[in-house]
Amino acid sequence: MKVKQGHKIWTRFGMSRREFLRYFGIATGAITLSPFFVDRFSRVLAAPTVKVYLVKNGDCFQNIAKLWDMLGGPSRYIGPDDIVVVKGNGQWPKQGYTHTGCIKAVIDNILNIQDFSGEIYICDDVQECGGPWGFTATGSWAREHNWPDHNWTTLAQEYQASGKPVAPKQWLNSESDIGGPEDGEGWIRDYFPFHGLDTFLSYPVFESPLTAGRMIDMQNGVWEDGNYTGRKVKAIFMPTLNNHGNGAEDYAGVTSALKSFFGTSEIHTCSGGFFRGYADIHKSSYSRGRADYAGELAARYIGTMYAPLLYIAAAIWSGWESRTGAAAETKTVLACENPATLDYVASKYVISPYASWLDPDQDNNTRKQILGCITGGVGTIDPAEFEIIEFDFENPTVNRLDIDRKIKDLKGGNATVQEVKDMINEYMETP
């Protein structure tokens, strides 16, 4: 959005000159701002509301620490007494399960929240016939293209040995019915017609593996001593970034944030994909050759089951061939508050340079899956509606968050107008 020469910048933002000066903490004299600078400043402040944060070329701990910094810190999302569910992808070995080092880095930052008194669980439902590799991987073969030090279970054991409230929890399918946490562990199910096929989605209710009698209801919060306590349950989804096929695109395309919803609902693939005559999430989408239905069901899950507060893709390695085959060390992590935009950016800029069939600008299943979620009202791939905020450890440059901080420094008297101008100019000149 261009500001015509002669227009005052404070007018452009609906302020008087005095209000502008006060807002930006400028307490002295007149400012001389060139029309060229005003145009740049306007463009910086007119950024889209959907943001994808991308950090690359550090190790897993550096990348995640920088990512949290760019996000404004974990306390922006998580309260000191919240229960946190870190939902990974755990079904496959190697890069097929969420990078344990990235999970540790996320948890370390949460544990550093001032006065944190909550609990953190590492969770997934790996489906009834899948191997729970994230929980059990041992040896160099199973941990190749992952973190060699720990799987999710031994990582949690190390935390507990040092008095930290972290535990693994594998969600398991159930044949029983529950009405809520007062009935014990189980699944809350929603049955509905979906494009001509009766379908169901479900979310788990489970007992804390750290505090006996404390029930975790993913939708309604913590239940204890016969009542909901008011404590919140916050979910962070940490998917992988892999090709779901084997050297080419299959019925799913990329497996990342959207596909991770297939570990949040019961799947009965090995017994036909039906539960009491209703199709599970896999049977109702991919088994019908409809990647777009998979995206739609993920959007429905967000709207009717529970909504994760954040998605963090751990793409330290990206399996361009498959979940367990050849992979590229992409040294990247990404975060977004919706899964569709995250999958678009991760597919386009991180994995498709190695696997062209996953480029979401093609008419492929990766794109169909993403568009299905957008059809369901979640996410965007319109370039006018989202932006990528990137940090590269090998080529650090100014980003919008640096400018935001510099403006705050200006307001607090710790920076000058010229420093803000110089930073904006550097930002706009970055390719």
Cβ pair 100, 251 in contact under 8 A: no
pLDDT in the model for residue 4: 34
- Interval 37-87: pLDDT, tens: 556 566 656 678 899 999 999 999 999 999 999 999 999 999 999 999 999
Cβ pair 152, 90 in contact under 8 A: yes
pLDDT in the model for residue 35: 61
Residue 360 vs residues 47, 173, 294: alpha-carbon distances, Å? 23, 33, 15
pLDDT in the model for residue 29: 42
Q: How far apart are CA 336 and CA 315, in angstroms?
A: 14
pLDDT in the model for residue 28: 40
Q: Measure CA of the first residue to CA of the last residue in the chain; give whole Å.
A: 19
Q: How far apart are CA 239 and CA 394, in angstroms?
A: 24
Q: How far apart are CA 323 and CA 251, in angstroms?
A: 14
Which amino acid does the sequence have at 418?
Answer: Q
Q: How far is CA 93 from the centre of its chain?
A: 21
Q: How far apart are CA 35 and CA 42, in angstroms?
A: 10
Which amino acid does the sequence have at 94?
Answer: K
pLDDT in the model for residue 268: 83
Low-confidence ranges of the chain (pLDDT < 50): 1-10, 12-13, 24-31
∠ CA 96-315-88, rounded to 5°: 55
∠ CA 23-45-18, rounded to 5°: 25
Phi, psi of 308, rounded to the nearest 5 degrees: -60, 145
Phi, psi of 83, rounded to the nearest 5 degrees: -90, 130
Q: Which of 268, 275, 264, 313 is nearest to 125 (CA)?
A: 264
Place of tokens 């949690």: 156
∠ CA 153-225-160, rounded to 5°: 20
pLDDT in the model for residue 415: 83
Give bridge partners of residue 388 from the DSSP assignment: 52
Cβ pair 119, 208 in contact under 8 A: yes
What pTM was computed for the model? Answer: 0.88
Q: How far is CA 133 from the centre of its chain?
A: 21
pLDDT in the model for residue 134: 97
Give bridge partners of residue 83 from the DSSP assignment: 119, 233
